[in-house]
Chains A and B, each alone.
Chain A
Amino acid sequence: MLRILINALRTGVVTTRYPAEPSVPPDRFRGAPVLSPGSHLPPPTVCPAGAISEYVDTGGRHVALDLARCVFCGRCAEDPWAGAVTMGRDFELAARSRADLRIEVVADDPAPRSGSGRAIAATESAHNPDAEAACASSEIRRVLGRSLHLRHLDAGSCNACDWELTALLNPVYDVRRLGIDFVASPRHADGVVVTGPVTRNLETAVRRTFEAVPEPRVVIAVGACAASGGIVGEGYASAGGVDRVLPVDVYIPGCPPRPEAILFGILVAVGRLDARLPCRE
């Protein structure tokens, strides 16, 4: 016992100060891709997750990147597109609507012939226009205060997002210092954090768990699969994103999002931090 105490004292405090102090990811970290307008941007086929789309109108070729779908593999920033796309360092990407996660720029390709334009369907967003989201946020903040107790809901994740949620409880991130905790029962929860694209075999369990949470309740979609279906997409066994099944309040991009990115998203959900639009330069 004494040895344990001595070891604990010798180890000292390992807890991060984030979000009071910023967290700087390492050099190789791949955050939000930055698309340079007017450059030679990659075609949609480059992206293994289908996050890149394009359409052509009189203004030129518009290239859009859906951060909710992005798996941050960095392939679109490799040759021959290096420079046109660079992997940024921004990881605080949580947003209240799918539309906010769409980055669109015009490429420098030769002006198209008229009539060849074909609009690609904009990101589908089952609900939450901004006003509604802001209203929900203030209601959540009024009822729940600054503390948030969440129930984790694995809806078919690859477990990377789950492990990052576990990491939030380790001595380094220690989310409990911020009044946030993960609880064992949905009845004790103010909301759910969902990982995974919602598999067919879990859809019923996901709905029932959500319904067991008392209102008002928040739904936080963690990671690319939960936010959009990610690399799994829609299929015979996958709904293709949490918002196909539950009303989502906050989307946290990443594959998986690093623990601070999840923490940022949770604080956005409870109204303690504001979502920032991703870099559009």
Chain B
Amino acid sequence: MIHVENISKHYGSTQALEAIDFQIEKGTCFGLVGPNGAGKSTLMKILSGILLDFEGDIRVGEWKVSKDRSTIKQQLGYIPQDICLEETLTAYDNLFLFGNLYGLRRKELNPRMDEVLEQVGLTDRAKDKVVTFSGGMKRRLNIACALLHKPEIIIMDEPTVGIDPQSRNSIFALIHHLKKTGRTIIYSSHYMEEVEQLCDSIGLIDKGKLVEYGDMQSLLDKYRKPSLFISGVQITPEVLRSFGDVEEKGNGYLLNSSQPLLTLRDLVNYCHEQNLNPRRLELYHPRLEDIFFHLTGTELRNA
């Protein structure tokens, strides 16, 4: 269990984080989301032991970051957003470097290098220079470097940026496997559908504060408003307003109603009478992305 206790961080007069408090259950995946400049990166730096001067504390099991930093770091595997590899060296060289940084000796490191390479599907490229790898392969090796020492906690900062669907799927499969083996994962991403798919709980940060936190399903239920989605039909918003509250969404409209099934029936009847054939007319369940926009707004962030 990880306890993040009342963490605050200032950069000069700017408050980057304010009294952040949450817990993460062992063996679960915790999603950390927030707009740019929300304080997410600062929190990730604190969680991964890069930023040392902050207020509050983090407890990992019986250890406290303020007292047992080195012990906790040994339990951490940090996968940064940027691909941090020595590109002119081979995959083996990179793994050897990171294995050594986590204190692994050659005898235990050699078989571990082969194991993690197999886990990320790079066994046949072990002796090739990283500069010859595709973006997806580099991302997978980036992850492998953090898994060598079998960390209990894995911190992933946007691990799927700029990669092909195959590599993304392979990373998702690896995350599911890691969860099954009892690893705790802290996952940060701007891709809400990924977070929704992978994470058991989330923390949403905005303007340095934790604006929402909890179990993923409970959170989705909390913000679940009955609504309908209609698209691909020539109905004006004015007409739709006679059925309920209307808001534009993508290439269609979201129709909020207290009785969505009855409204759906009425809409079907209306379309039938008017000889209209909507491309989509369905009950709509809010996604994490809707909650994200609801809580953080849709205006652009320049931070």
Same complex for A and B? Answer: no
Which A residues are within 8 Å of any B CB, using their own CB?
none
